[in-house]
Each structure stands twice: as structure tokens, then as C-alpha cells.
Chain A
């Protein structure tokens, strides 16, 4: 009888487990009630709850169910590239091809990645950990996970949750920075209507991009190849079934596995550490710097450009597609209700995804 009682989870519960349950319930509450990244926070929250049930051994190396999802899905680099396949099938590069100089804004927004990287070094994190924290500034969940699994797997839960949390908080974090760095006159700038982009251009773009980027930063290939393959599926128009599967069913399946695997890494003994607070703090620094750098770069370009760019679209360079572009549109509309910035902001927005993947590739090459 005593042995039976000792083998129940109840007597093995720790205070840490209770704290993690509260965090799990908070995530599930935020997802359901506040609609904050529900597709991820529901499985992550549930994964946290499950992994903090004592003696379930869900993350036991070799046999735990969640460990298998984590090991074969994340450690084997399967899930993030498959998510990128789906993202590619959902992405329209038309606005970016139509106004290629907005690509530079996607690069500018990567400054925040390096601001947080140096911040993390200053706090005392080692180089691989600093790389994993810095990449949060790219506001790209799968890229953050991909980088962290390689460089600092013990921080996976914290970096993944920070990245997705800040992505869902884009409408709260970005507007004050946008208003602080721009004048009302700048926010009113109207941009020329984008030219239509031909099908040929849209088909050739993923082919050129994959060659150019993988030649310059080969370590970014797993994400970039799948991203551009998904986009080619979408644009070529002859593999609608594959495109639909990548963008819907497959994306949904891997999202479930990703969420529950990330949640599975967040056991009390791994997550309840002071360094997790610093990860969140640095993630916020990264995000704020990325937003500011994108806006300032747009203002810098305006010094030389004959056709002015509305600096509000610079903040969309932080990836977080399409939320960041929507925020640019909303802020622009507040200054001038007839100003439509959404499509202009989609250029830096998708360029930001490419920029973050390149930054991650460099971290993976040099961060070890």
C-alpha cells in the first residue's frame, strides 16, 4: 500500500510543478480568452501541464512520448523547416518584388537581433546562448526554435515562448516606438501605388533567392530551401494540391507537434531559473531595437530618395507576418485615414523573414 502511494504523482508533486501548472493555465487562458497566438499557446500550455505531472516520464530520453516528438521533430530539424514550407506557400512576395528597395528595411530590422545578442553577452550568457536570445528579435518563431535547438537547447522553452509572446504583442509593443520616432508629417507620407508583378517574376523569385542566399550563407539552407519550395508551389500554379497541403494540413500537423514539443521542454527544473527572466527581458530589447532600427533606416533612406518611404513600414521588417504590416497600416491610418500602407509594409515584412533566416544561418555557422 505504501509503495502504491509512493508511486503516485500526488506525493511527488513539488512547488515548481504547481508554478508550472499556473504558467500552463495562463498560456491556455491567454490563448482562449485573449486570442494570443492560440494555435501555439494551446498546445504549448498543454505540453507544460503534461510534462509537469510527476512520474509520467513524458520527456524521458529514449522512451517518453514528448521526448520522441522533441527529438525527432526538433533535434532532427524536421519541424521548423516544414513550418517554413507552409509559410512559403502562404507568402506573397509580390509587394516586395514590386518595390525591391523595401528589402533593405527587412535587413535594418535585424539590428535588434545583435543588440540583444550583445545585451545577453553583457549579462553573462555564453556565445551560443546569446545567439539564441538575439534571434528572438527577428520575431520569427520557427527560426528561433531552429537556432536554439542547435545552440542552446536548454533555453528552448524560454526563447520559443518569448518569440511567440512578443509576436502576439506586436500591436502593443510597436505603436509607442513608432510614434516616438516619427513625426505626424512623416506618418502621413503616401507611397506610390505598387506596380502589378507578373507571374514569371513571382516564379523566378524563389529560384533566384534560394541560390543567392544558400551560396552566401549555406547554414540557412534548411529553412530557406523549404521556404522557397513552398513559395514555388504557390506561384507555379500547377501543384495546387501540394501548395494547399503545405499551407493547411501539413502546417497544422507540425504546429501541433511543435507546440507540444516546446511545452514538453518546460519542466519546472528546466524553466524556473533566473536566466529565463533575462531571456524574456533581452527578447523585449531585441524586439524594440528591431522596430526602432527599421523605422530609422526608412528615415535614413528618405534623406536620399526622391520617392519618399513612409517610415512606419520600416517597423514591419521584424517579420511577424502579417501582424507587423497590419500595425504599420493602423498607425498610418491614424495619421491619415485615406493612407493605405498595408501592401507597402508587406515588402519589408517578408524581407524580414528572409533577413532573420540569414542572421540565424550566421549564428549557426559561427555561434558554436
Chain B
């Protein structure tokens, strides 16, 4: 029983960590994309 409880804990933490990490990366990729676009827009405006 104890083994199963530890197993459940590892599974919950493991899947949670995997999804959290990858969700965080998705967020950062989108955020960085937005920042990069706005920088490029500003530089085009300045050049124009």
C-alpha cells in the first residue's frame, strides 16, 4: 500500500512537472515572439 502511495505521488509530481515545464516554455516562446515583433515594428517605424 505504501509503495502504491509513493508511486501515485511520483506520478502526480512527474506528470505535473512535465506539463508545467512545457507549458512554461510555451508561454515564454509566445511572450518572446511578441516582444521580438514589437521591437522589429519599432525599428521599422524609426527607419521609416
Contact = CB atoms under 8 A, between A and B. Distances in A.
A110 B15 contact: yes
Contacts of B20: 216
B11 A217 contact: no
A358 B7 contact: no
Interface size class of A (residues with CB under 8 A): 35 or more
Contacts of B11: 114, 117-118
Given A103-B22, A104-B22, A127-B3, A366 B32 contact: no
A159 to B, nearest CB: 17
A212 interface: yes
Given A200-B36, A366-B10, A212 B21 contact: yes
Given A111-B15, A113-B14, A213 B21 contact: yes
A362 B6 CA distance: 12
Interface string A172-205: 0000000000000000000000000010110011
Given A205-B29, A208-B28, A208-B32, A362 B22 contact: no
Interface in B1-48: 3-4, 6-7, 9-11, 13-15, 17-26, 28-30, 32-33, 36
A113 B11 CA distance: 9
Most buried by A among B10, B20, B24, B28: B10
Given A100-B29, A126-B3, A367 B21 contact: no
A107 B19 contact: yes
The binding surface of chain B is classed by DSSP as: helix
Contact of A363 (B14, B26, B29, B30): B14
A142 interface: no
A200 B26 CA distance: 16
Contacts of B10: 117, 127, 131, 362-363, 366-367
B6 A216 contact: no
Nearest to A214: B21
Contact of A216 (B4, B24, B26, B33): B24
Contacts of B33: 201
A83 interface: no
A61 B15 CA distance: 38
Nearest to A365: B13
Contact of A117 (B7, B13, B25, B32): B7
A165 to B, nearest CB: 24
Contacts of A201: 29, 32-33, 36
A216 B22 contact: no
Contacts of B7: 117-118, 121, 127, 130
Contacts of B19: 104, 107
A78 to B, nearest CB: 25
A104 B36 contact: no
Contacts of A117: 7, 10-11
Given A118-B11, A362-B13, A198 B36 contact: yes
A107 B22 contact: yes
A355 interface: yes
Given A114-B11, A131-B10, A216-B21, A103 B26 contact: yes
Given A107-B22, A213-B21, 5 more contacts: A100-B25, A110-B18, A198-B36, A358-B17, A362-B17
Top 5 A-B pairs ranked by shortest CB distance? Answer: A362-B14, A100-B29, A100-B26, A103-B22, A107-B22
12 contacts: A100-B26, A107-B18, A114-B11, A117-B10, A117-B11, A127-B6, A208-B28, A212-B21, A212-B25, A355-B18, A362-B18, A367-B10
